[in-house]
Amino acid sequence: MNIALWIIAALLAVTFLASGAVKLAQPKEKLVASGMGVLEGFSAGTIKAIGALEVLGAVGLILPAALSIAPVLVPLAAVGLALLMVGAFIPHARRREVQGIVMTLALFALAVLVAWGRFGHQSFTG
């Protein structure tokens, strides 16, 4: 189970790092034009904040455990990313974007799985 949690955390980290970096690097107009229409209703500052949270969550899934510095941050990062996906579900659902809803729910489920595993019997502290 430990190896599976590491693999899932790594996949989540890569996904959120890429997504967050794009949101931080690109202006809102370019993001919307590239197919992220769901961001249309958000301000540029909100999009940058979401991107920063995604990058921080990605880093929090891997570095604390890999460096053995405050590994309790791993499940907390997973919970944060799960909550971010709860927030992402709402605009996707309002726009009836099936692909966005499915991806959001999948990322939510994986983040919850990592949080459950790392708070539970596969924690780094116990």
Instruction: Dump pLDDT digits (tens) for 8-21.
Output: 999 999 999 999 99
pLDDT at residue number 97: 92
**What's the CA gap between 12 and 69, in Å, rounded?**
20
pLDDT at residue number 121: 80
Instruction: Dump pLDDT digits (tens) for 48-103.
Output: 999 999 999 999 999 999 999 999 999 999 999 999 999 999 999 999 999 999 99
Mean pLDDT of 4-8: 95
> In the chain, what are the domain boundaries?
2-119
pLDDT at residue number 43: 95
Q: How many CA atoms lie within 13 A of 3 on its CB side?
A: 0
Assess contact for 93 and 80: CB atoms under 8 A: no
| Amino acid type, 55 | V
**What's the CA gap between 3 and 45, in Å, rounded?**
37
pLDDT at 40 over 70: yes
